[in-house]
Structure 1
C-alpha cells in the first residue's frame, strides 16, 4: 500500500506536480474568486464555519480555566495553523463549483469519501504537531522571562507583558519564533490539502509540492500569508465571531490560489516509482 499513501500514491508512484510562477495580482484575484464563491451561497458556508469561532472560544476559556493564561494568545494565533484542515469542506465546494456543479452544504462533507483521506489525515497530523510545538515553545519563552509562576489574573498578566522590560523581551522573542512557525506552516500547507483533495498523490508529495510552490513564489506566498493573518485578526474581533465569514472566504480563496500555483493534472510530468 506504499505506506498507506503517506509517501507515494495508491500505485506506489511518487508524483511531482508542476508548479507555476505567479504574480501578486494573482493572489488578489484568488481572494476575489473566494469572495465570489462565498457570496453565491453564504448560508451554507457560515453554517460550516461556525465550528472555527466556537473552537476558538473553547480554547480561550480552557486556557484561562486551566491556569494557562501565558499561552492564551499563542493558542489563539496558533489555532490558525489548523485552518487548512477546517477549510477542507470549502475546498470541496469550490472544486465542484469549478466543475459547473451546484453543490449543497451537505456535499462539503464528501471529503470523507476521498481516496486520499489517510494522506489528508497524515498531513493534518503534521500541522497539529507543529501547533503543539508552538504552544510548548511559547510556554518556554514565558517561563524564561517570568519563571514558572502562573499570573494571578488576566489584568496582572497583561500588566507584566505590556509594562515591563521582561514583557517586552518576551513579546519580541515570541513574535520572532511565532513568525518562524508561521512561515513553516504556510510553506508546507499552502497547496497541500487542495492538492490531496483533487489528487491522491500521497502526503509527502503534496507537502513537497507546497514547499516547491513557496520557493518558486516567495513574494506572492508571503503576501498570501499576510492577507490570511490580517483577515484572521479582523475576524477575531469581537470574540472570533467574524471568523464565520473570514474563514469561508479564505478557504475558497485557498482553492483558487492552489489552481494558480499548481499545473492541472493533464499538464503534469510523468510520475516516478517511489523507492
Structure 2
C-alpha cells in the first residue's frame, strides 16, 4: 500500500498497471502493420540484418548438420520450428520500433537496451517455454516419421524426395506432419502474438502477457489466424534460397509484430497530468539557493 506519496503519482502508477484494453482489428490492420514494419526495416536495415543474421547462418548450419548425419526428415521441421522461436528472437526489433515510434533515431546499441528491461526475466521465462515447445515439436516430427517409414534413413536427397512425393506413406506424412505443426504453431501464436511487446512496453509479467495474448486471439480469431498464415508463408519464402531471405523477412515481421501490438492493445492514457511547476518567493537571505527554488504546488 503506497504511503506518503503524492496522489497524482499513485494514480499514474495505477493507470500504467491497469489491465490492457483489447481492440477489435480487421485484415486491413494486418496490411498496415506490415507496411509500418517495412518502413522500420528501411529506416534501420543494417541494424535489423545484424540482429537477425543468426537466422540464415543457423539455417545453413542446420542444413549441413542434417545432411552430414543423414537425418533429412528433420530438415523441414527444424526450418518450420523457427516460427515458434521467432517472437523471442525479435526482442531487439521491438525495441528499435519502440524507439522510432517515440521519434528517436535508433542504433544497434539501442536494440540491446532490451536486456535492461525490468521485465527481461519474464521475457526469458516465456522464451524458455517457446524453446520447450520447439523441442517437443522436433521430437513429435521425428516420431511421426518413424511411425511412417521406420528407422531406415534415406540415402540421399533424391531418395528422400521420392519417398515423400511418390508414396502413399509420404503423403500421409505430409498431411499428418503439417496438421500437427499447425497445432504447435497455433499454440505459439496464442501465447506470444502480443506477449513480448506487452512485456517490453508495460513491463507485464509472463503470465499476464500470455493471458492477454490469448484474449487478443479469442477476440480477433480471423485476423490472428490470417496473421499466422502470413508469417508462415513469408518464412517459407524467406527460406529460399538456403534461408538467406530470412535476413529480410524476419526483421520485417519483427517490426510488424510491434505495430500489430499497437493496433490490438489500447495505449495507456494517463488520467492525471503532473501539476505545473510554480515559482516560490525568493529572498536575498536564501541566495544562492533561491536561484533553484522551483517546487511543485502539491509539495
Q: TM-score, normalised by structure 1?
A: 0.89
Between stretches 135-144 and 39-48, larger displacement belongs to 39-48
Matches within 5 A, 1:105-120: 105-120=108-123
Say which SS state the counterpart of residue 265 (structure 1) adopts.
coil
Matches within 5 A, 1:180-195: 180-195=183-198
Is it true that 1:229 corresponds to 2:229 in the alignment? no
Aligned to 2:92: 89
Partners of 2:209 and 2:65 lie apart in 1 by 34
Is it true that 1:44 corresponds to 2:9 in the alignment? no
Identify which of 210, 214, 230 aligns with 1:211.
Answer: 214
Deviation at 1:253, TM superposition (A): 0.4
Partners of 2:19 and 2:132 lie apart in 1 by 25
Aligned to 2:81: 78
Aligned to 1:252: 255
Deviation at 1:265, TM superposition (A): 2.8
User: Which stretches in structure 1 are left out of the alignment for 5+ residues?
Assistant: 1-10, 269-275
1:15–1:201 contact (8 Å) kept in structure 2: no
Greater relative contact order, per chain length (Cα 8 Å cut-off, separation 6+): 1
**Paired residues, number:** 256
Q: TM-score, normalised by structure 2?
A: 0.82
Aligned to 2:144: 141
Partners of 1:78 and 1:57 lie apart in 2 by 15
Identify which of 167, 171, 175 aligns with 2:170.
Answer: 167
Aligned to 1:8: none
Is it true that 1:122 corresponds to 2:125 in the alignment? yes
2:144–2:177 contact (8 Å) kept in structure 1: yes
User: Which stretches in structure 2 are left out of the alignment for 5+ residues?
Assistant: 1-13, 272-299
Q: CA RMSD in A?
A: 1.7
Higher-Rg structure is: 2
Deviation at 1:97, TM superposition (A): 0.7
Between stretches 252-261 and 37-46, larger displacement belongs to 37-46
Deviation at 1:15, TM superposition (A): 6.1
Aligned to 1:271: none
Q: Summarize the Cα distance change of 1:19–1:148 in structure 2 as closer, same or farther, 3 Å threshold.
A: same
Partners of 1:258 and 1:128 lie apart in 2 by 22
Partners of 1:265 and 1:68 lie apart in 2 by 50
